[in-house]
Amino acid sequence: MELEKLKRLLNSLGEADLTVMKKDLETGDLARMIEERLRSQQERNINKVCPVCHGETTEDSLTLIFGPAGLKKRASFCATDCLEYFISNLKKQKQESYARRPEDEH
């Protein structure tokens, strides 16, 4: 990022805002906010492409949130066919991992 942009942003802030920002910086809140913003932007980028057919998704694409708590993943599909295909694949993977589990323990 251009440092000029950051400088301009800081110049636009008043003393009160800067004081809050400095405090957030020290407590790590600012880092967390930036992290959240980055994550949501990356998520949006990922969801631009259908993971099944790699076609571009539109605004009325179907979005699936899946995975265990804390490890939630999100995927957007261009059509129900792709969503169905993805879910059946997910099902197959799960069945395979269950079938493999007894062997792993030995």
Could you list the residues that contact Zn ion (CB under 5 A)? 50, 52-53, 55, 78, 82
Closest by CA to 63, choosing from 49, 74, 72, 53, is 74
Minimal distance, residue 97 CB to Zn ion, in Å? 25
Q: Between residues 30 and 62, which has the closer beta carbon with respect to Zn ion?
A: 62
Q: Between residues 75 and 82, which has the closer beta carbon with respect to Zn ion?
A: 82
Burial class (CB in 10 A: 0-12, 13-18, 19+), 75: buried
Minimal distance, residue 74 CB to Zn ion, in Å? 15
Token couple for 81: 């066919």
Q: Between residues 21 and 52, which has the closer beta carbon with respect to Zn ion?
A: 52
Minimal distance, residue 49 CB to Zn ion, in Å? 9
The one-letter amino acid code at 56 reads E
Question: What pairs with residue 65 in β-bridges?
Answer: 74
